[in-house]
Structure 1
Amino acid sequence: MAKFSGEEKLNAVLRYLNGNESARSIAKEIGVLHPNLLTWVKHYKQRGVDAFVKQYTNYSAQFKLDVLNFMIEHGTSLTETAAIFHIVAPSTICVWRKQFETKGFDALQSKKKGRPSMKKETNKQPKQVLVEGSPEALRAEIDRLRMENEYFKKVEYLSSSQGKITKEDKVKVIYELRHKYPVKALVAFAKIPRSTYYVLVKKMNRPDPDAEVKAEIQAIYNEHEGRYGYRRIRDELANRGQKVNHKKVQRIMKELGLKCIVRMKKYKSYKGTFGKITDNILNRNFKADAPNEKWVTDITEFKLFGEKLYLSPVLDLFNGEIITYTIGSRPTYSLVSEMLEMALARLPEVHKLLMHSDQGWHYQMKQYRHALEARGIVQSMSRKGNCHDNSVMENFFGIMKSEFLYLKEFENVEQFKIELDQYMNYYNTKRIKAKLKLSPVQYRTQFIQAA
Structure 2
Amino acid sequence: MAVGQFTEQEKIAAVHLYLSDHYSYADISRKLGVDKRVIRLWVARFRRHGKGALAPRKGCLAFDPAFKMEVLNYHWKHRASYFETAVEFNLAAPSTVQKWEDQALLHDLRTLFPVKKGRPPMKKKPLEDMSTKEMQKELEELRMENAYFKKVESLSSRKAILTKEDRARAVDELRQEHPGFRLAFLLKLAGLKRSTFYAILQRRKQGDRNQELKEWISGIFHEHKGRYGYRRIQMELQSRFDRTVNHKKVLRLMQELQLSCQIRRKKYRSYKGPVGTKAPHLIQRKFRAKRPNAKWTTDITEFILFQKKFYLSPVLDMYNGEIVAYAIGNSPDKALVDTMLDRAFARHSKKKKLILHSDQGWQYQTPHYRRRLAKQKITQSMSRKGNCLDNAIIESFFGTFKSEFLRTEKWKSIPHFLRELKRYIHYYNHDRIKSRLKVSPVQYRLHHEPAII
Q: Please give the TM-score of this superposition, normalised by the length of structure 1.
A: 0.67
In the TM superposition, residue 137 of structure 1 has moved relative to its aligned partner by 8.1
Cα distance in 2 for residues equivalent to 1:184 and 1:157? 19
* In the alignment, structure 1 residue 253 sits paired with structure 2 residue 250: no
Larger Rg: 1 or 2?
A: 1
Which moves more between the two structures, 219-228 or 405-414? 405-414
Native 8 Å contact 1:159 1:169 kept in 2: no
**Cα deviation, residue 179, structure 1:** 2.4
User: 148, 171, 185: which is aligned to 1:151?
Assistant: 148
Aligned AA for 1:335?
L
In 1, Cα distance between equivalents of 2:403 and 2:193: 47
State the partner residue of 1:178: 175
Partner of 1:314: 315
Partner Cα separation in structure 1 for residue 229 and residue 377 of structure 2? 40
Unaligned 5+ runs, structure 1: 1-130
Describe the shift of the 1:196–1:232 C-alpha distance in structure 2 as closer, same or farther (beyond 3 A). closer
Q: What does residue 41 of structure 1 align with?
A: none
Note if contact 1:184-1:194 (Cα within 8 Å) is conserved in structure 2.
no
1:3-402 counterparts in 2 under 5 A?
A: 144-159=141-156, 166-182=163-179, 185-191=182-188, 192-240=192-240, 241-402=242-403
- Once the two structures are TM-superposed, the CA of residue 161 in structure 1 deviates from its matched residue by 7.7
Q: Larger deviation: 185-194 or 441-450?
A: 185-194
Query: Contact conserved, 1:187 with 1:197, CA < 8 A, in 2?
Result: no
Q: Which letter does structure 2 place at the counterpart of 1:293?
A: A
Deviation at 1:206, TM superposition (A): 1.5
Give the corresponding residue for 1:421.
422
Root mean square deviation, CA, Å: 2.4
Alpha-carbon distance change, 166 to 299 in structure 1, aligned in 2, over 3 angstroms: closer
List gaps (5 residues or longer) in structure 2: 1-127
Q: TM-score, normalised by structure 2?
A: 0.67
**Correspondence for 1:408:** 409
Q: Residue 355 and residue 153 in structure 1: after superposition, are their counterparts in 2 closer, same or farther (change >3 A)? A: same
Comparing 290-299 with 163-172, greater Cα deviation is found at: 163-172
Q: Is residue 159–residue 166 contact of structure 1 (8 Å, CA) maintained in 2?
A: no
C-alpha separation in 2, matches of 1:272 and 1:155 = 62
Q: Secondary structure at 2:357's aligned position in 1?
A: strand
- Whole-angstrom distance in 2 between the partners of 1:195 and 1:343: 65
1:51 aligns to what? none
Give the letter aligned to residue 355 of structure 1. Answer: L
CA distance in 1, matches of 2:255, 2:233: 13
Q: 1:244 to 1:187 in 2, by over 3 A?
A: same
CA distance in 2 between partners of 1:402 and 1:169 (Å)? 33
> Residue 402 of structure 1: CA displacement?
0.5
Over the matched positions of the two proteins, sequence identity in percent amounts to 50
SS for the counterpart of 1:150 is: helix
* C-alpha distance in 1 between matches for 2:370 and 2:442: 29
C-alpha contact 1:300 1:311 (8 A) present in aligned 2: yes
Q: Is the 8 A contact 2:144 2:181 kept in 1?
A: no
Query: How many residues of Structure 1 are paired with residues of Structure 2 in the alignment?
Result: 321
Task: Give the C-alpha shift of residue 337 in structure 1.
Answer: 0.9
**Larger mean Cα displacement after TM superposition, 249-258 or 131-140:** 131-140
Q: How far apart, in 2, do the equivalents of 1:231 and 1:197 lie?
A: 33
Supply the AA of the counterpart residue of 1:234: Q
Call closer, same or farther: CA 1:343–1:175 in 2, change over 3 Å: same
CA apart distance, 1:203: 1.7
| Inter-partner Cα distance in structure 1 for 2:199 and 2:331 | 66
